[in-house]
Amino acid sequence: MVTINIKTNKLTILIIFILFCMTILPLRDAFGFILDPSKLPDEYSFTEIKGTVIDAETKKPIEGVVVVALWKINWLGRPGVYYEGGTAKVIHAEEAVTDKNGKYTIPAWGPIKRPKEWAFNGADPSIEFFKPGYSGERLSNYFWLSSWVSRGIKENYTYSKIRKSYWDGKVIDLEPFIIGKKIPIKDRYYTKERIKRYVIATQHMWESELDFIRGIFYQIEDADKKEINEIPIELAPYIETRKVKNLLKVFAEEREKTSKPLLYDIPQRFEDYLREIKNEK
């Protein structure tokens, strides 16, 4: 009889936990409180992002790293509710390439009016770092309460009309990616420190990196800007396509080296632009 009660209690706790995750958590904004739509700004501006990229082993600057910043805006969902698990659209993309000193600059942009029923959360922007021979890095403003407090950020970034990156001014170290060599697993979102666990770099892992980059093109392709900022849907994706020219070129070069390049298809407008690039003098 005792055993049955224990099992029943465990099941009850599990059901309560699932219901909590399904109902309470989606109602909470990035700082842990129910979102107040009246506090959302009418417009957004986006600050310049600068940084330096170095080799994690030699500590020397890396030239030629493609850096792409993506700003995703989120659908608010039900009236007055910040639906974090809902639709997110790439509203803007910017690209930079590190110089001989490993430095890069993502330009400021905006202001733009906040689209009705859409808002940024604390994670924007995400920043991708990619160069053949190195493990890719993916960073964003991780927006849960504990992470923000640990970084000394007191304001509720969810309601800020000035959008900035936590990684502005930071030095980013990329791990050399050599097939057959041990590489550490990192998690910058939480600790910015290397987790003391290693994996052996494989060709399959490198192709997974390419697949992630391929996903960026599809995110940009999916940017339905007609409903967000009234840019004609036929034109908007082409604008952003040209914002990631260097990433597209490097991806295409690496794609050709894989055993099955045709598997790494990208949206047709990117393929068309790639042909334009190849035909350039």
Which of 48 and 242 is assigned the larger pLDDT?
48
Please state the domain count of the chain.
Answer: 1
Q: What is the mean pLDDT of residues 193-199?
A: 63
In a domain, 159, yes or no: yes
In a domain, 258, yes or no: yes
In a domain, 222, yes or no: yes
Above 50 in pLDDT, residue 221?
Answer: yes
In a domain, 6, yes or no: no
Six-digit token pair at 221?
A: 């392709």
Give the model's pLDDT for residue 186: 62
Full residue range of the structural domain in which residue 43 is found = 31-279
Name the pLDDT band for 205 (thresholds 50, 70, 90). Answer: confident
Name the pLDDT band for 23 (thresholds 50, 70, 90). Answer: very low
Which of 246 and 226 is assigned the larger pLDDT?
246
| pTM for the structure as a whole | 0.79
In a domain, 8, yes or no: no
Least confident stretch, 54-58, 167-171, 227-231 = 227-231
Range 107-145 burial, b when 16+ CB lie within 10 A, else e: eebeebebbeebbbbbbbbbbbbbbbebbbbebbbbbee
Each residue's pLDDT tens digit, 162-172: 988 889 999 99
Above 60 in pLDDT, residue 135?
Answer: yes
Helix/strand number for the chain, H first, E second: 7, 13
In a domain, 224, yes or no: yes
Name the pLDDT band for 79 (thresholds 50, 70, 90). Answer: very low
Q: Measured in Å, how far apart are the chain's first and last C-alpha atoms? A: 82
Q: Taken in order 53, 59, 63, 65, is the CA torsion positive or negative?
A: negative
In a domain, 19, yes or no: no
Query: Taking Cα atoms as reference points, which of 52, 209, 70 lies closest to residue 127?
Result: 70
Percent of the chain clearing pLDDT 70 (strictly above)? 69
Averaged pLDDT of the chain = 77
